[in-house]
């Protein structure tokens, strides 16, 4: 069983995962030796450590004997355990079977068909996001089609050149990378004609900034939604969905459409349900539930967490959403991520979307803090667009106009850069903890 660990993870996080799941063999790049050594000091003596250099790998292979491998396998057998990418606590290990992997690859093939051209007889993936997560699942699609994977750890400023130079056809990026790309002064200096899919996901995106990206790159941006437990993709906002009536000639779609997560993909079943497990009426909010062959059988060694997340055959995602009259699903918030202020429920994601629509706001985090008057107060920490000073009063007024006074943050702070997880998500748990400590508030 294989467990991918993000090379950008911090040493403490890696150590926690290795101690929890106790591997038999740890393969690692020489640049990560210091992180691995901190685990080696406490690891059981049975754990092998193999640095990814030719001589050491060949020596390890030689020690395994020359007996032929049994190429038969049970499609329901677990082949990988994927640490969850959440920002709220210690990762759980999500089991993946061969059947899960097959249907993830088939789902990508169904929604992202590659079209050979004279410049691109085969697909080319630019892997600038960690391959241990969604980008690695996109790579399955490319490998199945005999494609090429260009792995890059270059800064965002270099990505336009790499796309042009390698005739990249596919890439997966979090919204923060899109924000960085559209702000580059040289973004219009390169050729992006090779691009067929610039997939994005893993976090909410600003409709305003998404529209700017579509105007630069054309009908290639596509959103994918899914979770570690359900496989990706479950929802898909296709390139044509970013335009009015699905036609680039009609101009870029409005903010409501660009704010949608997409429609359900062909190989899964999806429902939006209430707390009793019953489907809600179209337009009403409920929790997204998913079933299908891409859904994990459960959490490794954690039957209680598995039982808690399932309702029959349905996996409960914890995402609150609604379906509009055209079948597009809009994610509202995480079910557990709401703030009770003055007796009203406020979903942080809803406030974050309103903040991202304000001038000068590049990224943000919204959370609740203890408050004597309101029970909880809505707080926002903002990251400005590079070189732009945020007008806090104007931002507050803009959000109030969009959402009303109850959902408008009572406190706004601006910081140069928000901390992020190794997968590019805003690290809200850390931001909230820092805020509470700085203001002497009791943890809640």
- Record the tokens describing residue 144, joined without a space: 């199945």
Q: What is d(CA 315, CA 306) in angstroms, rounded to the nearest whole number?
A: 9
Positions in the chain whose pLDDT score sits under 50: 86-88, 444
Question: Is 380 in contact with 413 (CB distance < 8 Å)?
Answer: yes
Q: What is d(CA 80, CA 101) in angstroms, rounded to the nearest whole number?
A: 9
3-state secondary structure 157-184: HHHHHHHHHCCCCEEEECHHHHHHHHCC
Q: What is d(CA 198, CA 125) in angstroms, rounded to the nearest whole number?
A: 10
| Beta carbons within 10 angstroms of residue 346's beta carbon | 21
Check if CATH label 3.40.710.10 holds for domain 111-332: no
Give the model's pLDDT for residue 442.
65
Residue with tokens 């049975």: 46
337-438 has which fold? GMP Synthetase; Chain A, domain 3 (3.30.300)
Q: What is d(CA 389, CA 126) in angstroms, rounded to the nearest whole number?
A: 33
Q: What is d(CA 258, CA 250) in angstroms, rounded to the nearest whole number?
A: 15
Give the model's pLDDT for residue 342.
83
Give the model's pLDDT for residue 58.
94
Q: What is d(CA 276, CA 294) in angstroms, rounded to the nearest whole number?
A: 24
Burial class from Cβ neighbours inside 10 Å (0-12, 13-18, 19+) for residue 355 reads buried
Question: Is 258 in contact with 55 (CB distance < 8 Å)?
Answer: no
Question: b/e string for 196-208 if b means 16 or more Cβ within 10 A?
Answer: bbbbbbbbbbbbe
- Record the tokens describing residue 291, joined without a space: 């079933």
Question: Is 382 in contact with 364 (CB distance < 8 Å)?
Answer: yes
Give the model's pLDDT for residue 39.
83
pLDDT tens digits for 348-388? Answer: 888 998 999 999 999 999 999 998 888 889 999 999 998 89
- Record the tokens describing residue 27, joined without a space: 């393969």
Give the model's pLDDT for residue 88.
47
Please report the sign of the dihedral spanned by the C-alpha atoms of residue 199, residue 204, residue 207, residue 208: negative
What are the structural domain ranges in the chain? 11-96, 111-332, 337-438
Give the model's pLDDT for residue 100.
94
Q: What is d(CA 316, CA 272) in angstroms, rounded to the nearest whole number?
A: 10
Q: What angle do CA 17, 20, 24 make, to 5 degrees?
A: 90
Give the model's pLDDT for residue 136.
80
Q: Strands, E, within 18-164: which ranges?
A: 25-28, 48-51, 78-83, 93-97, 124-127, 148-151
Pairing outcome for strands 268-273 and 286-292: antiparallel
Give the model's pLDDT for residue 444.
46
Q: What is d(CA 423, CA 444) in angstroms, rounded to the nearest whole number?
A: 26
Give the model's pLDDT for residue 117.
92
Pairing outcome for strands 344-347 and 93-97: unpaired
Angle at which helices 392-403 and 348-356 cross, to 10°: 120
- Fold: same for 111-332 and 337-438: no
- Record the tokens describing residue 208, joined without a space: 């305003």
Give the model's pLDDT for residue 443.
56
Report if pTM > 0.85. no
């Amino acid at each position: 069983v294989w467990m991918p660990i993000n090379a950008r993870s911090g040493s403490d996080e890696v150590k926690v995962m290795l101690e929890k799941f106790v591997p038999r063999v740890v393969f690692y790049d020489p640049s990560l030796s210091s992180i691995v050594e901190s685990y080696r000091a406490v690891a059981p003596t049975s754990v092998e450590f193999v640095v990814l250099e030719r001589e050491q790998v060949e020596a390890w292979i030689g020690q395994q004997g020359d007996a032929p491998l049994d190429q038969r396998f049970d499609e329901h057998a677990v082949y990988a355990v994927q640490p969850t990418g959440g920002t709220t606590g210690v990762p759980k290990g999500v089991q993946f079977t061969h059947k899960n992997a097959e249907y993830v690859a088939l789902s990508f093939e169904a929604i992202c068909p590659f079209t050979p051209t004279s410049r691109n007889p085969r697909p080319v993936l630019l892997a600038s996001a960690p391959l241990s997560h969604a980008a690695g699942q996109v790579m399955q699609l490319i490998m199945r089609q005999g494609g090429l994977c260009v792995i890059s750890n270059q800064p965002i400023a270099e990505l336009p050149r790499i796309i042009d130079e390698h005739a990249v056809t596919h890439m997966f990026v979090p919204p923060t990378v899109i924000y960085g790309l559209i702000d580059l002064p040289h973004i219009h200096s390169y050729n992006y004609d090779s691009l067929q899919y610039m997939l994005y996901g893993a976090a909410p995106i600003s409709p305003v900034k998404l529209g700017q990206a579509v105007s630069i790159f054309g009908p290639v941006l596509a959103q994918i939604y899914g979770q570690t437990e359900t496989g990706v993709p479950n929802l898909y906002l296709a390139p044509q969905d970013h335009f009015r009536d699905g036609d680039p000639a009609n101009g870029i779609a409005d903010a409501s459409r660009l704010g949608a997560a997409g429609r359900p993909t062909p190989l899964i079943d999806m429902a939006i349900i209430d707390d009793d497990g019953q489907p809600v009426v179209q337009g009403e909010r409920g929790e997204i539930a998913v079933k299908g062959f891409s859904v994990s059988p459960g959490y490794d060694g954690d039957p209680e967490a598995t039982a808690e997340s399932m309702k029959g055959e349905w996996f409960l995602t914890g995402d609150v959403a609604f379906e509009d009259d055209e079948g597009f699903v809009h994610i509202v918030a995480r079910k557990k991520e709401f703030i009770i202020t003055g007796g009203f429920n406020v979903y942080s994601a809803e406030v974050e979307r309103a903040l991202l629509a304000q001038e000068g706001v590049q990224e943000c985090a919204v959370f609740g803090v203890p408050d004597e008057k309101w029970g909880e107060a809505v707080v926002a920490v903002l990251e400005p667009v590079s070189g732009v000073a945020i007008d806090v009063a104007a931002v507050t007024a803009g959000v109030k106009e969009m959402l009303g006074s109850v959902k408008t943050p009572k406190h706004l702070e601006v910081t140069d850069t928000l901390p992020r997880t190794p997968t590019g998500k805003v690290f809200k748990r850390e931001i909230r903890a820092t805020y509470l400590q700085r203001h002497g508030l009791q943890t809640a």
